Amino acid sequence: MNTENYHTYNEIKTQTQAWEQALDLVCATRLPDADAYDQVIFTGCGSTYYLALAAAALYQELTGHVARAIPGGELLLNAGTVLTDQKLLLFAISRSGTTTETVKAVEKFKSDNRGDVFVISNYEETLSQLADTSIVIARGQEESVAQTRSFASMYVAATGIAACMAGRDDLRETMSALPGIGERLIREFEPAARQMGETLDFDRFYFLGSGIRYGLACEVNLKMKEMTLTHSEPFHFLEFRHGPMSMVNEKAVVVGLVSESNSSHEKAVLNEMQALDGKTVALGESGMDIAFESGIPESVRGILYLPVLQLMAFYRSLAKGLNPDRPNNLSAVVKLDL
């Protein structure tokens, strides 16, 4: 098995170069004034909707301004449940820059004079041309259908933008160390990701993340679904006790994206799942199965949760005889007749 024959593998392994470019672009871009807006909306579809969930939570935490995430299709078809007459800033996120629901939602947002549009993408396409401000991370471009390097690059950009718009240039500066740390984590934990991915005795995966990590839990859950056709679901940590834990047995893997601020509560959930014979994997800054040891503030190191879990999904896909580059029934860009 030559892993380098797969685009997905190479895109996961080289993603830190795209992180670096994303940070450079954030520094080179004149960002909006957070105080100029009453509400901020983040939108995307699929992976980029999950990115929107993570980015909105982080933006509100850092800036103190109300932010929410909404799928592109909902923003287009049910705008009345989302938009108000307040001054709005819309962050539209799309790998291709051509996703139909997102493009149409932005076009309607602009035609209705709802507010300003900030686009984060990997291609200079339709969305960027509609934007008031745009960041295009070309090094995040991919050949694969499932997003790995692209998602990571856009998430790093969104994190840097939130830090800068919050006036926290100190946080943005600490992020410059992330690419080197990411490369180390990939080297150090790829064997563990491979071993877990190739263990086909497991038939269900649950990804737990709370606060600014919930959107990331959703995204790594999607990678497991797309690449491996395995039952996979994301949950907030404490919510997992309220019903979903009934599915935990010796065939279940429960992956925790553990925070520092709430680690005692989150580790308690993982310990309970282990007592139910579930296999648990904890990721976090220190004292975890996959420990970052980064020294980066918690709010801006979220990207470090992704690469090892992406590799786990990649190796499981191969172990099941699937092609991770071309998941069943999917295409790289969803285009609809709307």
Q: Is residue 333 part of a domain?
A: no
Residues 163 and 232 in one domain: no
Q: Tens digit of pLDDT for each residue in 194-204?
A: 999 999 999 99
Burial of 238 per CB tally in 10 Å (0-12, 13-18, 19+)? middle
Residues 62 and 157 in one domain: yes
Q: Tens digit of pLDDT for each residue in 297-321?
A: 999 999 999 999 999 999 999 999 9
- Total tally of structural domains belonging to the chain: 2
**Whole domain around residue 194: which residue ranges?**
177-319
Residue 217: pLDDT above 80?
Answer: yes
CATH number at residue 122: 3.40.50.10490
Residues 39 and 59 in one domain: yes
Quote the tokens at residue 216.
Answer: 């990331």
- 14 three-class SS: coil
Residue 170: pLDDT above 90?
Answer: yes
Predicted TM-score of the model (pTM): 0.96
Q: Tens digit of pLDDT for each residue in 74-123?
A: 999 999 999 988 999 999 999 999 999 999 999 999 999 999 999 999 99
Write down which residue in 167, 200, 220 finishes a domain.
167
Residues 12 and 88 in one domain: yes
Residues 185 and 87 in one domain: no
User: How confident is residue 260, by pLDDT bands cut at 50, 70 and 90?
Assistant: very high
Four-residue CA torsion sign, 296, 298, 303, 308: positive
Residue 50: pLDDT above 90?
Answer: yes
Residues 121 and 242 in one domain: no
Residue 330: pLDDT above 80?
Answer: no
Residues 131 and 263 in one domain: no
Q: How many helices (H) and strands (E) does the chain have?
A: 12, 10
In this structure, of 127-141, 269-283, 317-331, the range with the lowest mean pLDDT score is 317-331
